[in-house]
Structure 1
Amino acid sequence: MAWRYEIDKYISDPRADSTEDILEWWKRHECIFPNLAAMAKDFLATPASSAPVERQFSRAALSLTKTRNRLGDNSVRSLLCLKSWMANEDIKDLF
């Protein structure tokens, strides 16, 4: 239920200024939205090593089958991101 509260609060809060650095915004609001901030960092940050990239290529290979070979870039990105989040034990109850 903490997730639902966090999402509801995020949706009802005023939007960040469009000129503001979004990573800085998430850093400042991490104590209010800890789970969403972690997801935002995953989505917005560049990995420091190639290991996460290799893991993503492996996940992509398992996700892009013959029947899914026409998925667009955004769909593939969204699918891989959701799979990664669903693997997180802390948020499995959302899915």
Structure 2
Amino acid sequence: RESDIRAAEVMDSIEAEDLATEQAINIDIDSEDELYVSQSRYDIEPEWKRWMKEPTVGRDTDILKYWQSKQYQYPLIGSIAKDYLAIPATSADSERVFSVGGDIITKKRNRLSPSTLRYLLCLRNWGVLSQGDDEDSGDDADNEG
């Protein structure tokens, strides 16, 4: 499979980096400061490398329990997994989006197409647009007669 080929490529690159690390450790060290820097740089294998060396889990594995058991062994990757695998417990995000939609659609801008509205909502939600970037140049209250 393509994923097996990719995993083999990653493992080959890890082994090449390990060999380079071993060669770099064999340098002459003149002072205690250099020794400390050398040890701190090469002593701890990166978290992702350790995780990639583990056997893959089966399809029947409860992935949430797996990451719960690995959260102290791989704190960074475990945190990413929690964010990725999490299901929002409330509808607060959707309520917030509808509220923002009410800010975008005004008396002057009531004919926006659904695709344009979706575009503006996504851009604002992702932080690309600030609140003033997608609004008219003038305020509706100022222009009322």
Output the TM-score relative to the length of structure 2: 0.35
CA distance in structure 1 between the partners assigned to 2:85 and 2:123 by the alignment: 23
Matching of residues 3-42 of structure 1 within 5 Å: 5-42=46-83
Aligned identity (percent) is 33
Instruction: Give secondary structure in 1 for the equivalent of 2:46.
Output: helix
Q: Which has the higher helix share?
A: 1
Task: Please name the residue that 1:72 is paired with.
Answer: none
Gap regions ≥5 residues in structure 2: 1-40, 101-120, 127-145
Change (3 A) 1:47 1:20: same
Per-residue deviation at 1:53?
A: 5.1
How many corresponding residue pairs?
A: 63
Q: What is the one-letter code of the residue matched to 1:15?
A: T
Change (3 A) 1:50 1:22: same
Change (3 A) 1:45 1:12: same
Gap regions ≥5 residues in structure 1: 64-79, 81-95
CA distance in structure 2 between the partners assigned to 1:15 and 1:56 by the alignment: 38
Output the TM-score relative to the length of structure 1: 0.50
Q: Which has the larger radius of gyration?
A: 2
CA distance in structure 2 between the partners assigned to 1:61 and 1:48 by the alignment: 21
For CA contacts below 8 A with separation 6 or more, give which structure has more relative contact order.
1
CA distance in structure 2 between the partners assigned to 1:38 and 1:5 by the alignment: 15
CA distance in structure 2 between the partners assigned to 1:14 and 1:44 by the alignment: 20
